[in-house]
Amino acid sequence: MANQFSHLDAEQNPTMVNVSEKQTTARSAMAQATVVLPPDVIKLLIDQEIQTKKGPVLQTAILAGIMGSKKTSDLIPLCHPLALENCKIKIYFDASEQLIIQCTADITGKTGVEMEALTGVSVAALTVYDMCKAFSHDIIIKDIRLMSKSGGKRDFNRSQ
């Protein structure tokens, strides 16, 4: 049946998907998260990078996002451990002054990198929260979502 969960075996127990028969292909995924910050924190980040006791907020979030992507299989039980070939975190303010975090992950392999991209944006967004909570707890992380993926059985592309 095509609508079965891929992570359940015949006895309905959790299992890792067997990718041994899959073709090795170039695979890419991009995920995005939105962080809504209070106006006073936005002003600090737009005017200059906030330097906290923990370091510069956005630069630290970029590093944390990359590290999170690399640790995905340690966090998500049935994810395959992957040797990422590329991982980039991009952080910017959109027209409505929401902080947009994007993670693009690439690999040549037998399984996709969607979870690595989603984990990367999640960890980067949580890092922004952690580093800015001293200024305000009125921070919202929202809209964590896969934007695109390519290279597997099906490509996917979400229009904003």
**Which CATH topology does 25-151 take?**
Alpha-Beta Plaits (3.30.70)
**How far is 16 from 7, CA to CA, in rounded Å?**
6
In angstroms, the CA 159 to CA 148 distance is 9
Question: What's the confidence (pLDDT) of residue 1?
Answer: 42
For the chain, state the CA radius of gyration: 18
130 is catalytic: yes
> Taking all residues of the chain, what is their mean pLDDT, rounded to a whole number?
91
- In the structure encoding, which two tokens stand for residue 146, read together? 């896969």
Statement: residue 2 has pLDDT above 60 = no
pTM for the model stands at 0.90
Q: Report the alpha-carbon distance of residue 71 to residue 52 in Å, rounded.
A: 25
**If pLDDT is split at 50, 70 and 90, which confidence band does 75 have?**
very high
**Among 130, 138, 143, 155, which one carries the catalytic annotation?**
130
Residue 3 has pLDDT above 70, yes or no: no
Residue 46: pLDDT band with limits 50, 70, 90: confident
Enumerate the domain spans of the chain: 25-151
Structure tokens at 6: 């891929």
Question: Other CB atoms closer than 10 Å to residue 51's CB: what's the count?
Answer: 11
Phi then psi dihedrals of residue 114, to 5 deg? -60, -45
